């Protein structure tokens, strides 16, 4: 299966080719002009592009020039009318993979596309081999010298070259996604895709189409074929974030894919072989979820072949200064500053804080401090506003007055505290208070607190309704 974009200003031509490609099991998209095609190429990162040579606007050869560079550059097949072979030859010189002469013949299209797909695969394999030869087996970008982080990195290095499933545990912001990516990019799958899906952010009824894809007509509104994440992650890694939030029925289906190494698109008849490594992450206690019947035990064992637990920052304080130093460098570059480090006082303040948002929060704090600081060292004043110690206990330690308690105020306080504890992730805060997302969101808006919601979370606003 490959992702292919067909560009032609004649709709009939586009549709015919699209159908041929889909019959071959590919995911085909079409564009009426080179300009529109380029936009699609940027978002879909196709393996192959089939484009007409002469179109109103940009030509097929101009499109070749405008393509993004390695490693995402697709194989381009140029279509030209009979009698204009010389321009096709010119296109080949400019880097086109092959050309087709019109009128097109089905068999020729199929064969040429097959060769292009094989060539792309070969290229990717090649990059992979070279990387292995040069032994690029480092866990780049993971900072931490504490014993616990060194243990984490050691396990990650051991599992990276294999395809075993990994379950990553950790509070919000501890680096779950970072470690998943490190495992992928240090594995032989690194030239394949790394795709991530946040199971908590996607409404239940959409999750299966995302994961398994669908055929046209699979349900109302399914007009086109959609390739799911299992398929598009073929030869790569699929990161199932917040896996504890998957509906039970979907869990069953995922288990089947893991066992059979095959998926079936919704509404489809065929099983499609997939070679995907799964890395799952959660900040829930999955064992407890299993005990409560919310998570399938068999899937749980299947996922945690290797478990990696990322310790919260407060349990590895010796890493705080190194991490802060790393982020100072990063933001020095970004903001063109020259901050040398942290004052003793600010190191102590950072170490005393309990970091509910872990490394992500530390990064924000340092970013702001670098931006705001007027001297060459970060002073306590530069960070004070950001990490005011929160009321650790006593949220519910409320003194009831003799009469006339303001219930609305109390409710608002609770919402605020839950948001604080959940690091502004509304879905988590809702769970803390035992409310549905919808009920919680309604209250957030009522108190005008919805602007605090972590921007990361806001990918699927339809979930609010
Ligand atoms: N050990 C580390 N070294 C350097 N940067 C780190 C480290 N751990 C985390 N980070 C950075 O902190 C941020 C949060 O990490 P990440 O997104 O991986 O956390 P997460 O556990 O997936 O969080 P959430 O549960 O909220 O999704 C990222 O910008 C990441 O690059
Ligand atoms: Mg994450």
| Strand intervals (E) in 189-340 | 194-198, 213-214, 226-227, 236-241, 262-263, 272-273, 276-282, 306-309
Any idea which architecture 147-309 has in CATH? Answer: 3-Layer(aba) Sandwich (3.40)
Q: How far is the CA of 175 from the centre of ligand 2 (A)?
A: 7
**Segment 178-212, tens digit of pLDDT:** 999 999 988 888 888 999 999 999 888 899 999 99
How much is the average pLDDT of 236-254?
A: 96
Of 121 and 227, more confident: 227
Instruction: Give Cα 27 distance to the centre of its chain.
Output: 20
pLDDT for 453 equals 79
Say whether pLDDT at 5 is over 80.
yes
| CB distance 428 to ligand 1 below 6 Å | no
Q: How far is the CA of 164 from the centre of ligand 2 (A)?
A: 20
**Among the atoms of ligand 1, which is closest to the Cα of residue 175?**
18
CA angle 325, 331, 337 (to 5 degrees): 100
3-130 adopts what CATH topology? Rossmann fold (3.40.50)
407-464 adopts what CATH topology? Arc Repressor Mutant, subunit A (1.10.10)
Provide the H-helix boundaries in 144-292.
Answer: 147-159, 176-185, 204-212, 229-232, 248-260, 286-291
**Among the atoms of ligand 1, which is closest to the Cα of residue 181?**
18
Which run of H or E residues covers position 16?
A: helix 11-23
Of 55 and 409, more confident: 55
pLDDT for 137 equals 38
Cα separation of 385 and 72, whole Å? 43
Q: Where are the domains of the chain?
A: 3-130, 147-309, 314-384, 407-464
In this prediction, residue 394 has a pLDDT band, given cuts at 50, 70 and 90, of very low
**Among the atoms of ligand 1, which is closest to the Cα of residue 179?**
18
Q: Which CATH number fits domain 314-384: 3.90.1150.10, 1.10.8.60, 3.30.200.20, 1.10.540.10?
A: 1.10.8.60
pLDDT for 131 equals 56
Q: Are 77 and 112 in contact (CB under 8 A)?
A: yes
Sign of CA dihedral 237, 243, 245, 246: positive
DSSP string of 336-364, one letter each residue? T----EE-HHHHHHHHHS--TTHHHHHHH
How much is the average pLDDT of 231-237?
A: 94
Q: How far is the CA of 174 from the centre of ligand 2 (A)?
A: 8
Q: Are 180 and 308 in contact (CB under 8 A)?
A: no
**Segment 97-125, tens digit of pLDDT:** 999 988 899 999 999 999 999 988 888 77
Mutate to test the pocket of ligand 1, among 140, 174, 422 (most ligand atoms within 8 A of CB): 174
pLDDT for 392 equals 39
| CB distance 142 to ligand 1 below 6 Å | yes
Nearest C-alpha neighbor of 127 from the set 185, 191, 47: 191
pLDDT for 388 equals 63
Sign of CA dihedral 39, 40, 42, 43: positive
Say whether pLDDT at 303 is over 90.
yes
pLDDT for 456 equals 62
Say whether pLDDT at 464 is over 70.
no
How much is the average pLDDT of 143-159?
A: 90
Q: Mean of the per-residue pLDDT values for the chain?
A: 87
- Global pTM value: 0.62
Q: How far is the CA of 167 from the centre of ligand 1 (A)?
A: 16
Judge whether 147-309 and 407-464 match in fold: no
Nearest C-alpha neighbor of 359 from the set 411, 298, 310: 310
**Phi then psi for 77, rounded to 5 degrees?**
-110, 125
pLDDT for 400 equals 59
In this prediction, residue 293 has a pLDDT band, given cuts at 50, 70 and 90, of very high
Q: How far is the CA of 176 from the centre of ligand 2 (A)?
A: 6
Cα separation of 213 and 392, whole Å? 45
Mutate to test the pocket of ligand 1, among 141, 144, 178 (most ligand atoms within 8 A of CB): 178
Return the ligand number nearest the Cα of 169.
Answer: 1
Nearest C-alpha neighbor of 110 from the set 194, 19, 42, 35: 19
């Amino acid at each position: 299966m490959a992702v292919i974009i067909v560009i032609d200003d004649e709709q009939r031509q586009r549709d015919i080719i699209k159908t041929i490609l889909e019959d071959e099991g590919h995911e085909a998209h079409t564009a009426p002009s080179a300009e529109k095609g380029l936009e699609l190429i940027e978002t879909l990162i196709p393996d192959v592009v089939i484009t007409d040579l002469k179109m109103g606007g940009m030509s097929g050869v101009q499109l070749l020039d405008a393509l993004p560079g390695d490693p995402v550059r697709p194989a381009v097949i140029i279509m030209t009318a009979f009698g204009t072979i010389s321009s096709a030859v010119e296109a080949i010189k400019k880097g086109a993979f092959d050309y087709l002469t019109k009128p097109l013949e089905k068999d020729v299209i199929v064969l040429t596309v097959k060769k292009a797909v094989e060539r792309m695969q070969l290229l990717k394999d090649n990059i992979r081999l070279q990387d292995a030869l040069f032994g690029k087996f480092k866990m780049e970008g993971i900072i931490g010298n504490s014993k616990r982080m060194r243990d984490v990195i050691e396990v990650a290095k051991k599992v990276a070259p294999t395809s075993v499933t990994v379950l990553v545990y950790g509070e919000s912001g501890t680096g779950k996604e970072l470690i998943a990516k490190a495992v992928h990019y240090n594995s032989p799958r690194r030239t394949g895709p790394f795709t991530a899906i946040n199971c908590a952010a996607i409404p239940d009824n959409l999750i299966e189409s995302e994961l398994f894809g669908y055929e046209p007509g699979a349900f109302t509104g399914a007009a086109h074929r959609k390739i799911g994440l299992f398929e598009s992650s073929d030869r790569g890694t699929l990161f199932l974030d917040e896996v504890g939030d998957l509906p039970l029925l979907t869990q069953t289906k995922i288990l089947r894919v893991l066992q059979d190494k095959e998926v079936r698109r919704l509404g489809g008849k065929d099983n499609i072989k997939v070679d995907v490594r799964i890395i799952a992450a959660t900040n829930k206690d999955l064992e407890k979820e299993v005990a409560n019947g919310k998570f399938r035990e068999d899937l749980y064992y299947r996922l945690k072949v290797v478990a990696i637990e990322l310790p919260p920052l407060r349990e590895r304080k010796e890493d705080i200064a190194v991490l802060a130093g790393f982020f100072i460098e990063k933001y020095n570059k970004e903001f063109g500053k020259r901050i040398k480090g942290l004052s003793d006082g600010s190191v102590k303040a950072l170490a005393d804080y309990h970091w509910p948002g872990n490394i992500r929060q530390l990064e924000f704090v340092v970013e702001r401090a670098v931006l705001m600081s007027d001297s060459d060292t970060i002073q306590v004043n530069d960070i004070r506003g950001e990490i005011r110690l929160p009321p650790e206990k006593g949220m519910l330690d409320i003194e009831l007055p003799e009469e006339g308690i303001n219930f609305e105020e109390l409710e608002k306080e609770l919402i605020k505290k839950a948001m604080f504890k959940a690091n502004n992730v509304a879905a988590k805060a809702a769970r803390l208070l035992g409310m549905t997302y919808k009920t919680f969101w309604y209250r957030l808006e009522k108190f005008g607190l919805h602007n605090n919601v972590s921007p990361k979370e806001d990918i699927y606003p339809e979930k609010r309704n």
